Amino acid sequence: MLALVQRVSRAKVTVENEVIGAIGRGFLVLVCAEHGDTTTEADKLLAKLLKLRIFNDANGKMNLAIQNLDGAGTVGGLLLVSQFTLAAETTGGNRPSFTAAAAPAVGRELFDYFVAQARVAHPIVQTGRFATEMAVELVNDGPITIPMRVAPLPI
């Protein structure tokens, strides 16, 4: 699975002029399932995401995870958005290929699983809407943007 994590001051997703998900300080996470991904990769990605230490501590060092933003228990929000285009292959020409992305039904199943597990593990989880045209707005804090990948083990 792939993710693009952006540390944000705030972010929101709008569909047809309606805000369907919004957070204050936290992570906007674009998530993509690839061929071969399973719930195992989703679990590993979520575990890494929740432990990712990219919030500043009292000394200004990126040392805090989302579950402990200020060192005193303040929790940040997660805004999870499905994004199959993260699997784009661009080396063959000017038009990207998305063949590495999981089939839509599998992608939806893994995204829904990822969201459900995030809601069990974290108190503030908002989402976009799978396979829908969305307007995503964010204020990137830093800016800090981190690509993440958890690949299935080769057979």
In a domain, 128, yes or no: yes
Total domains, the chain: 1
123 part of a folded domain? yes
pLDDT of 22 above 80? yes
Give the residue-averaged pLDDT of 105-120: 98
Active site residues: 83-85
122-131 pLDDT tens trace: 999 999 999 9
Question: Is 154 a domain residue?
Answer: no
pTM: 0.95
Query: Other C-beta atoms within 10 Å of 40: how many?
Result: 12
**pLDDT reported for residue 151:** 87
- Tell me the pLDDT of the chain averaged across its residues: 94
155 falls within a domain: no
Helices (H), the chain: 39-51, 104-121
DSSP, collapsed to helix, strand or coil, labels residue 59 as coil
